[in-house]
């Protein structure tokens, strides 16, 4: 039997969608291979997480318990899980490509001296237990298939919004295992003084998204006002996030998030391959750019050749807005 472990990333009593999406994909693969799905979580109290994870398709849930797991600290978590991984020797370990998941997976892979496929957008497992991950390369110009032939476990981070989570079913059954972790001789250097959560919208779930490209410069206000008037959430391209004008959480593209929206309206993006990989699942795309030869038009259902800073005031005024 192939044993695949999934890191159950959680905020409070809820599980992050990307963890559930990975579980959903693994359950699809179970139709063709003999696969056991094990979720693992490090914390102080299990609460309802084991039952929730099982209801979404986990066969086996491992709760690693220690007072040192009261908050995420990469050194503490890697020390807390590495011995159990060496003992159980899972074939595969999958993490969401979140800030925490990327940090945890990378440090754990280094500790275990194994490989890591980062930011995967496809997952397949053959009957021998080999993991095949599709990873965007060279700014999204192609998808590289990564296979770790020798080292174990095979570790990968998976981009959010790619796969579908299963419907929750409380009748599903699974094994819950509690493991007390003693970190003898370990000195936790990081101390949590204050926790502050930013209120940032998860745009992978948004039905309408307005995306701000580099062509907007530093003047985001007209686009933000337009988005507000049509009830859309804001996304940005990588150059906009690079300049610190928006958080990475709403960066669209191969190193950001992938949208599943009904409509995406894009202002001032050149249409780099790195970016368009994040809009390929949108049902309807409208792009506005001053360059009639812009590459973004090759990925759009409607193309508007216009100066956005002349077009937007007109649209905002027609909709009763105010700049």
> What are the tens digits of pLDDT across the range 201-237?
889 889 999 999 999 998 899 999 999 999 999 999 9
Distance (Å, whole) CA 84 – CA 94: 16
CA-based nearest residue to 237, from 316, 178, 295: 295
Residues of the chain with CATH 3.40.50.620: 2-180
Q: Which DSSP string do the residues of 53-100 spell out, in sequence order?
A: HHHTT-SEEEEEE-GGGSS--HHHHHHHHHHHHHHH--SEEEEESSHH
Per-residue pLDDT of the chain (323 residues; tens, 9 = 90+): 999 999 999 977 789 999 999 999 999 999 999 999 999 999 999 889 999 999 999 999 999 999 999 899 999 999 999 999 999 999 999 999 988 999 999 999 999 999 999 989 899 999 999 999 998 766 556 778 999 998 999 999 998 888 999 999 999 999 999 999 988 878 788 787 777 777 778 898 899 999 999 999 988 999 999 999 999 999 999 999 999 999 988 999 877 888 989 999 999 999 988 888 889 889 999 999 999 999 999 999 999 999 999 999 999 988 877 75
Sorted by sequence, the CB contacts under 8 Å of residue 5 that are 6+ apart come out as: 38, 39, 40, 62, 85, 90, 92, 93, 94, 153
pLDDT at 184: 81
Top-level CATH class of 2-180?
alpha beta
265 forms bridges with which residues in the sheet?
210, 286
Helix residue spans in 151-237 (DSSP H): 221-229
Burial of 214 (0-12, 13-18, 19+ CB in 10 A): middle
pLDDT tens per residue, range 65-84: 999 998 999 999 999 999 99
CATH of 208-319, picked from 3.30.465.10, 3.30.1490.20, 3.40.50.1220, 3.30.1330.10, is 3.40.50.1220
First and final C-alpha spacing in the chain: 62
Q: How, if at all, do strands 10-11 and 60-65 pair?
A: unpaired
Helix 308-318 vs helix 221-229: angle between axes, to the nearest 10 degrees? Answer: 30
Residues of the chain with CATH 3.40.50.1220: 208-319
């Amino acid at each position: 039997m192939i044993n695949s472990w999934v890191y159950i990333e959680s905020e409070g009593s809820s599980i992050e969608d990307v963890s559930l999406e990975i579980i959903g994909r693994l359950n699809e693969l179970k139709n063709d291979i003999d696969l056991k799905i094990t979720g693992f979580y490090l914390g102080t109290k299990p609460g309802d997480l084991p039952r929730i994870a099982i209801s979404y398709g986990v066969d086996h849930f491992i709760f690693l318990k220690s007072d040192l797991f009261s908050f995420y600290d990469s050194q503490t978590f890697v020390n807390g899980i590495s011995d159990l991984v060496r003992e159980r020797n899972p074939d595969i370990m999958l993490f969401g490509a979140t800030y925490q998941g990327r940090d945890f997976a990378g440090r754990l892979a280094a500790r275990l001296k194994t490989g890591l496929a980062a930011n995967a957008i496809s997952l397949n497992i053959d009957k021998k237990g080999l993991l095949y991950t599709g990873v965007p390369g060279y700014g999204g110009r192609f998808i590289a298939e990564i296979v770790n032939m020798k080292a174990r476990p095979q570790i990968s981070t998976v981009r959010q919004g790619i796969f579908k989570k299963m419907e929750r079913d409380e009748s599903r059954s699974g094994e819950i295992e509690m493991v007390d972790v003693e970190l003898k001789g370990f000195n936790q250097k990081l101390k949590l003084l204050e926790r502050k959560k930013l209120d940032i919208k998860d745009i992978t779930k948004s039905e309408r998204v307005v995306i701000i490209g580099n062509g907007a410069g530093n003047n985001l206000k007209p686009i933000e006002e337009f988005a507000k008037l049509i009830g859309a959430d804001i996304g940005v391209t990588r150059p906009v996030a690079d300049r610190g004008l928006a958080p990475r959480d709403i960066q669209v593209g191969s190193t950001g998030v992938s949208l599943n929206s009904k409509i995406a309206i894009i202002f001032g993006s050149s249409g780099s391959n790195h970016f368009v990989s994040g809009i390929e699942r949108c049902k309807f795309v409208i792009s506005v750019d001053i360059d009639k030869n812009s590459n973004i038009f090759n990925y759009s259902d409607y193309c508007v050749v216009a100066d956005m800073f002349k077009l937007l005031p007109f649209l905002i005024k027609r909709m009763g807005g105010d700049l």
